[in-house]
Structure 1
Amino acid sequence: MTAQRENDPRKSEPARLGPLSRAASWDRLGKETFDLVVIGGGVVGAGVALDAATRGLRVALIEARDLASGTSSRSSKLFHGGLRYLEQLEFGLVREALRERELMLTTLAPHLVKPVSFLYPLTRRVWERPYTAAGLFLYDTMGGARSVPGQKHLTKAGALRMVPALKRDALIGGIRYYDAQADDARHTMTVARTAAHYGAVVRTSTQVIEFLREADRVSGVRVRDVENGAETEVQASAVINCTGVWTDELQRLSGSRGRFRVRASKGVHIVVPRDRIVSESGLILRTEKSVLFVIPWRNHWIVGTTDTDWNLDLAHPAATKHDIDYLLEHVNSVLATQLTHDDIEGVYAGLRPLLAGESEETSKLSREHAVARVSPGLVAIAGGKYTTYRVMAADAVDAAAVDLPSRVQPSITDKVPLVGADGYHALVNQVDHLAAEHGLHPYRVRHLLDRYGSLVGEVLALADGRPELLKPIENAPDYLRVEAVYAASDEGALHLEDVLARRTRISIEYPHRGVDCAQQVAELMGEVLGWSAETTAREVEVYRARVEAERDSQTKPSDEAADARRSAAPEARDKLIEPVS
């Protein structure tokens, strides 16, 4: 009985996405018949897998690259209602998003999602303060929001005390309000691990290359392991396409006509050191098109974002010099000490999957989501925003229910904490004890708790008998070496870029963008994944080529030139077939 329990993936505590589970999951894909196959390992796909698994369905989540390798690791890293959507009168969207923010902060992911404050500088006399205050009053009360402080009104002097970095003539007063933020890539990965914990098969580097059909209905998919080229067929009652900006490509592969069209909008962010902007709060600034955020991010600031059409490589959207200049110009318009290109530590570009509509301006396209049963056995979902992923997931499973053989239970994910949430608050109160036990500074333990929650014990256990793993990664001292090991052993990281760009954020938090620690991190991963010296060297070489291509693309004047340079870099997953999911 004990052996049977240990071998049953539904009993894992919690599920480990490591080399052994990867081999077992391939076996399950080829042998089992699933209720649902979910394509796409972004936050919506991971959310659908979790929603389905917790309803008692047999589910497989398939991702061609890495968890959160697309849009879901390149957002503004905010769980927010979308203050500007109030002005567009999208009250339902804002209310829904604020309810989700509250759930994340209190119940589902308090270890990952934290309150963050923003100052809204006022520049117009008489009308702007009451107008903005009325909007923020709605924002503070809609959706049951209770876990962050309400708005606070500031005089000009008070606002400048809060944000000394502002030019004196950049404002006449201000209003501080609160939202929430999270490391999007870690959050998405944790949603996927939680789905695995409840029995879902979660498999990355697994590409859908064909849809299977039984008469007029979709009955599964044929997949390719892009690490070794192996292929197998996966049988399912229904397939859900959660591929974001790749939605249209997957629709074409399925041979079904899509019910909606997805348009990719590029959003670029830059990362600068914390000491370059002297402030106790983030900033939200109006621009001629939308809004610009200056977001506190550990020892850094994230400044973004742009909002422009993108019709080129969907896997590797590239930031141009023009994009970066746009961000610098707008943030410098209010800063007393100007930011320059030399201040930039990191740059990242992501694509928002917007529902194509009447407007030609992507900033005015709706962030609402759409779900459609494209054909018997095939559902597609697109649009929406990161914050509402759980609602989107429930809607997608509901839409697929008609193709499932038995009655489907209602969604319960509003009551299912993500792995690492249970026990987190108690551990926060035990930081000093944990620190002393492991010979770490309490600050370091708090940092680990905010990344792993109550799974921190698993992470630290890997260093038992290996105290060197509790030392910082060379040239990336915010992270411990054991974190690179855990990423490979438990979090599904298969390549060096998975760790440097997503399990950690070294690729955007250090000026070297991960190059200076690539060798050490590759060697730590290689111990877990069984890499040879040649494989380790190739991983480092491919990562360095990626960084070089990104740096060079960011000097180009146009999307086309930047895309050509970025796309020329080699793929870590070199057996991918285009177009990818």
Structure 2
Amino acid sequence: MFTSQLNAQQREKAIASLTSEEFDILIIGGGVNGVGAALDAVSRGLKVALVEAHDYAAGTSSRSSKLIHGGLRYLEQYDFKLVREALHERELMVSTQCPHLVKPVSFLYPLTEKVKERTYVGAGLALYDALRGFKRALPSHKHLTGKTIATISPSLRQDIITGAIRYFDAQVDDARHTMMIARTAARHGAVMATGVRVEDLIRTGKKVTGVVALDTHTNKKLKISAKATIMCAGVWSDELHEQFGLTAGYSVAMSKGVHIVVPGDAIHSKDGIILKTPVSVLFLIPWGDKWIVGTTDTPYEGDRAKPLATQEDVQYILDQANRVLEPKLKSEDILGVFAGLRPLVANKTSSATTKLSREHTVDRPAPGFVSIAGGKYTTYRVMAKDAVDLAVLDLRRLVSDSVTEKLPLIGADGYFALKQQVAKIAEENSISEATVTHLLDRYGSLIEEILGLIADDASLAERLIPDLPYIKAEILHAASHEGALSVEDVLLRRTRISFEAADSGAEAAKEVAKIIGDELGWGTKERNASVSAFLEVISQEEAALVELINS
């Protein structure tokens, strides 16, 4: 059987396979849509490979609002199909696909008017609940009085808030979720390789039959043969279509979404909060002992790889949140800021190759080549299915239908039973119950991999940073099982230390390099280089944050 482990040795074998075998489907891009397409295709019995220029979830898929939701605002646009689809996916994730990763979270929709607003919003949330269907993993909405709100959410201004409606959605660590999809794809036989940048297409006549790529670690050229190629490049779609000499049926505009992170005591509320703004909506989302507040929605034309927040972005978030908060959030409260880019699709009316959806677009600009863009994180599985459905037409044989609706991610099996055994697991492994809960909610039944590392070296049960829950075994595991090849991979994506730690993880970087360096066979030079590269990344964000706070 195949293994789900992703590491340096696995990558070497993957590179060898890429150049010596022909694949049914080659995926370009390791974001959530790319790994989702890899899992969809390989679980149909196809021979699949995926290549990613940087790291899994290196772009938009690690910088979202961390929510799995139906999209309340789409109800106002009468897009009931999209909301129903997203809610169906949310229910699947919470109940069966990945309950260890996707957790229910309650939100308050504050009301400032007693009758009209409550009636209007209540009707919308009743419809939101109804669109879920009969199998419901989350509670229905509930009307709350102003007096109740004062107890649940003391930070909401009592002088203007007359009550609220509580409803439920779900949240996720997006980069971790993307990683678990990638590992599930590997578990079913997909050949996965990061650090492989596609530079050109191979054509036989008009048909795309593979790609020319560069192994960025060795600078060696790779020729990869595939009967069909699917590009899941997000905000890089236009650039790559042009590079490959393809005329796509859509173009992608970039929209920047900025979030700020503040301490838990900056907002006193047992529930998250959602606010309607003049532009869209703003979420105040509980995140461990902190809050994530966002997002913005502004056009962006800068560096795709390094979107940074501006003073205007952060001021907008503070202004909108402070409309209902007392005491108000201050710029000096901000612990961290992260910015992501949404690929907004504009379809070309003249295109005959494009299959349209309200939120995503699947295109076949050349025989043997399919691309997909747009959409929302919650519906990644549907997008992946649509892309593979179109790509398999080039295989010219019968291919099974998608089975991912019934396919749990690794770690889901046995999760609910393990949650009942926290005290026992803690005692048997000499770790705290809080650590066991933390690990179960990140790895599910794969906690055994972490516990195995601790059994070999008890010092790995220590926390990396005293006031954050991550233990050193997770750092080693990131390199030995989750394909981390740098300090940046570990601190930005395998963990969320880069925006959770007061110093963005700067002080922990050397320790991380030491732990993963042994696994990756690094010497002093490689360790120092990886630390320096990470510090360079966070220094740009730190400089931007300091400027925001002091301006």
Residue pair 1:476, 1:506 contacting (<8 A) in 2 also: no
Residue pair 2:249, 2:347 contacting (<8 A) in 1 also: no
Residue pair 1:42, 1:188 contacting (<8 A) in 2 also: yes
C-alpha distance in 2, partners of 1:97/1:26? 36
Residue pair 2:468, 2:501 contacting (<8 A) in 1 also: no
Work out whether 1:26 is the aligned partner of 2:47.
no
Alpha-carbon distance, 1:312 to partner: 1.1
Alpha-carbon distance, 1:477 to partner: 3.3
Q: Give the AA of the match of 1:280.
A: K
**Structure 1 stretches of at least 4 aligned residues deviating more than 4 Å after TM superposition:** none
Work out whether 1:60 is the aligned partner of 2:41.
no
Which residue of structure 2 aligns with residue 550 of structure 1? Answer: 541
Q: Give the AA of the match of 1:131.
A: Y
C-alpha distance in 2, partners of 1:476/1:250? 42
C-alpha distance in 2, partners of 1:552/1:466? 38
Alpha-carbon distance, 1:527 to partner: 1.0
Which residue of structure 1 aligns with residue 184 of structure 2? Answer: 194
C-alpha distance in 2, partners of 1:55/1:40? 20
Alpha-carbon distance, 1:256 to partner: 1.1
C-alpha distance in 2, partners of 1:387/1:256? 29
C-alpha distance in 1, partners of 2:137/2:190? 32
Which residue of structure 2 aligns with residue 51 of structure 1? Answer: 40
C-alpha distance in 1, partners of 2:456/2:546? 47
Aligned counterpart for 2:422 among listed residues 431, 440, 443: 431
C-alpha distance in 1, partners of 2:397/2:190? 18
Alignment root-mean-square deviation, CA: 1.4
2:533 alignment partner, SS class: helix
Which residue of structure 2 aligns with residue 179 of structure 1? Answer: 169
Aligned counterpart for 2:494 among listed residues 500, 503, 519: 503
Work out whether 1:69 is the aligned partner of 2:58.
yes
Task: Give per-residue Cα distances to partners, 1:399-450, cap 9 Å, x unaligned.
Answer: 1121114211100000110010001111111111110011111111011000
Q: Give the AA of the match of 1:129.
A: R
Alpha-carbon distance, 1:356 to partner: 2.4
- Equivalent positions of 1:25-174 (< 5 A) are 25-144=14-133, 146-174=136-164
Which residue of structure 2 aligns with residue 399 of structure 1? Answer: 390
C-alpha distance in 2, partners of 1:502/1:387? 19
Residue pair 1:270, 1:324 contacting (<8 A) in 2 also: yes
Work out whether 1:294 is the aligned partner of 2:250.
no
After alignment, is 191-200 or 468-477 more displaced? 468-477
Which residue of structure 2 aligns with residue 277 of structure 1? Answer: 267
Q: Give the AA of the match of 1:233.
A: K
After alignment, is 482-491 or 163-172 more displaced? 163-172
C-alpha distance in 1, partners of 2:472/2:218? 28
C-alpha distance in 2, partners of 1:378/1:80? 31
C-alpha distance in 1, partners of 2:397/2:450? 40
Residue pair 2:22, 2:226 contacting (<8 A) in 1 also: yes
Task: Give per-residue Cα distances to partners, 1:174-220, cap 9 Å, x unaligned.
Answer: 10000001100000010011001000011111100111111111111
Task: Give per-residue Cα distances to partners, 1:335-394, cap 9 Å, x unaligned.
Answer: 111222221111100001111269xxxxxxx96111111110110111110000000000
C-alpha distance in 1, partners of 2:547/2:425? 48
Task: Indicate the percent of aligned positions where both proteins have the same amino acid.
Answer: 51
Work out whether 1:316 is the aligned partner of 2:306.
yes
Alpha-carbon distance, 1:302 to partner: 0.4
2:55 alignment partner, SS class: coil
Query: How many pairs does the alignment contain?
Result: 540
Alpha-carbon distance, 1:556 to partner: 5.8
C-alpha distance in 2, partners of 1:124/1:408? 56
Alpha-carbon distance, 1:295 to partner: 0.4
Alpha-carbon distance, 1:143 to partner: 3.2
C-alpha distance in 1, partners of 2:347/2:4? 41
Alpha-carbon distance, 1:229 to partner: 0.9
Residue pair 1:320, 1:556 contacting (<8 A) in 2 also: no
Which residue of structure 2 aligns with residue 252 of structure 1? Answer: 242
Aligned counterpart for 1:226 among listed residues 198, 201, 216: 216
Q: Give the AA of the match of 2:245.
A: G
Alpha-carbon distance, 1:100 to partner: 0.2
- Equivalent positions of 1:463-474 (< 5 A) are 463-474=454-465
Q: Give the AA of the match of 1:516.
A: E
2:468 alignment partner, SS class: strand
Q: Give the AA of the match of 1:481.
A: K
Alpha-carbon distance, 1:466 to partner: 1.0
Residue pair 1:459, 1:483 contacting (<8 A) in 2 also: yes
Residue pair 1:191, 1:418 contacting (<8 A) in 2 also: yes
Q: Give the AA of the match of 1:46.
A: V
Residue pair 1:321, 1:555 contacting (<8 A) in 2 also: no
C-alpha distance in 2, partners of 1:368/1:26? 34
Distance 1:451 1:106, change over 3 A: same
Note the residue ranges of structure 2 that are not aligned, 5 or more in a row: 349-356
2:456 alignment partner, SS class: coil
Q: Give the AA of the match of 2:5.
A: R
Work out whether 1:535 is the aligned partner of 2:526.
yes
Residue pair 1:265, 1:353 contacting (<8 A) in 2 also: yes
Alpha-carbon distance, 1:170 to partner: 3.2
Alpha-carbon distance, 1:173 to partner: 1.0
Q: What is the TM-score normalised by the length of structure 1?
A: 0.91
Alpha-carbon distance, 1:553 to partner: 2.9
Alpha-carbon distance, 1:141 to partner: 2.1
Task: Give per-residue Cα distances to partners, 1:86-128, cap 9 Å, x unaligned.
Answer: 0111111000000000000111101000000000001123211
Which residue of structure 2 aligns with residue 576 of structure 1? Answer: none
C-alpha distance in 1, partners of 2:132/2:277? 27
Q: Give the AA of the match of 2:106.
A: S
Which residue of structure 1 aligns with residue 331 of structure 2? Answer: 341
C-alpha distance in 1, partners of 2:111/2:468? 39
Which residue of structure 2 aligns with residue 3 of structure 1? Answer: none
Q: Give the AA of the match of 1:163.
A: S
